[in-house]
Structure 1
Amino acid sequence: MRNKKKLLIEQLDQKLAHFKDAGMVLVPQKGWVNTIRTTLNMTRHQLGTKLDLTKGAIQKIEEREATGQITINKLKDVGNALNMKFIYGFIPTDGTIENLINLKAEKLARKIVLRTNQNMKLEDQGISENKIEHSINDLANEIKREMRKSLWD
């Protein structure tokens, strides 16, 4: 039994190690509260005692976390009861905030330039592909510099 518990702890440590570099962390199927509680071999009654709640209330907390219907404050309370730090945040899917802004600015600039060029083509005044790309880069840099609110539309 001790080897199984050690293995569970090692597996949990491996999952938690991903927080160090803010990498992708996969939430356990039953949620963190249940996973940590069971890995520590803690009963719902024991956790409930620490939070001044019933074991049924702990079961509801675990269910709500697993379905995404729990409050941040409740997760903080559980973290404190488990002598753990609750961490909450957002990580850009494209690596950095700067990358996110660059991608959005380029997308917006491309949309504006191509729409303008389409209108110019209708008047037989279209520009070359090279000039289009140059215009997109210039406009994207301007959008980034100004941090236009339209970047997020």
Structure 2
Amino acid sequence: MKSRLDFTRLAELDRQFCEFAKLHRDATPRCGWVKTVRLALGMSSTALAARTGMTAQGVRQLEHAEENGSISLKTLAKLADGLDCEVHYILLPRSSLLDLVLKQSKEIHGSQLPTSLNGTTEKILDSEALSALSALLANVNKRGFWL
């Protein structure tokens, strides 16, 4: 896939991320989701092990790996399947993607936005403003933009 700035796609992703941002970022249980769901279902580690083709000790070790953040997505998905759950993986930006691009552009060029583009990203998301923004950043060396 060719790497290029696509402001329409950035705006669309920003809207989608707003929905995810409404969730609590620190909502993960201290002991991890696998153990929390397993216990809520009243399922023993032995039962989960049987459903996943593992040992009970292996399940407990993987629950600990999830708790300390060292579990792989593939392994987490296997455990989730044993619990009849799905894993949803997402990178949730700390700020809007459009803001990140504007900040980087300003660092590279030191330029200010045209007055029609000043304000919050919500105001920038209309097609006319996106066209103006695309023109502003057209001279950015995209290959070196994030270096």
Dislocated runs of 4+, deviation >4 Å: 140-143
* CA displacement at 1:60 relative to structure 2: 0.7
Distance in 1, matches of 2:65 and 2:112, equals 46
Which residue in the other structure is 1:25 paired with?
Answer: 25
* CA displacement at 1:75 relative to structure 2: 0.9
Q: In the alignment, does 2:146 pair up with 1:152?
A: yes
Which residue in the other structure is 1:109 paired with?
Answer: 109
Identity of aligned residues (%): 20
Q: Spell out the pairing of 1:4-15 with structure 2 (5 A cutoff).
A: none
Which residue in the other structure is 2:41 paired with?
Answer: 40
Which residue in the other structure is 1:80 paired with?
Answer: 81
Unaligned runs of 5+ in 1: 1-18, 111-134
When the two chains are superposed, the root-mean-square deviation of aligned CA atoms in Å is 2.7
SS at match of 1:65: helix
Q: What is the TM-score normalised by the length of structure 2? A: 0.62
Which residue in the other structure is 2:125 paired with?
Answer: none
Distance in 2, matches of 1:86 and 1:104, equals 33
**Are residues 144 and 72 of structure 1, via their aligned partners in 2, closer, same or farther at CA, if it must alter by over 3 Å?**
farther
Q: 1 or 2 for the larger relative contact order (CA 8 Å, sep ≥6)?
A: 2
Who wins on radius of gyration, i.e. which is larger? 1
SS at match of 2:103: helix
Higher helix residue share:
1
Q: Report if aligned partners of 1:92, 1:100 keep a CA contact under 8 Å in 2.
A: no
SS at match of 1:152: coil
Q: What is the TM-score normalised by the length of structure 1? A: 0.60
Q: How many residues in Structure 1 have an aligned counterpart in Structure 2? A: 109
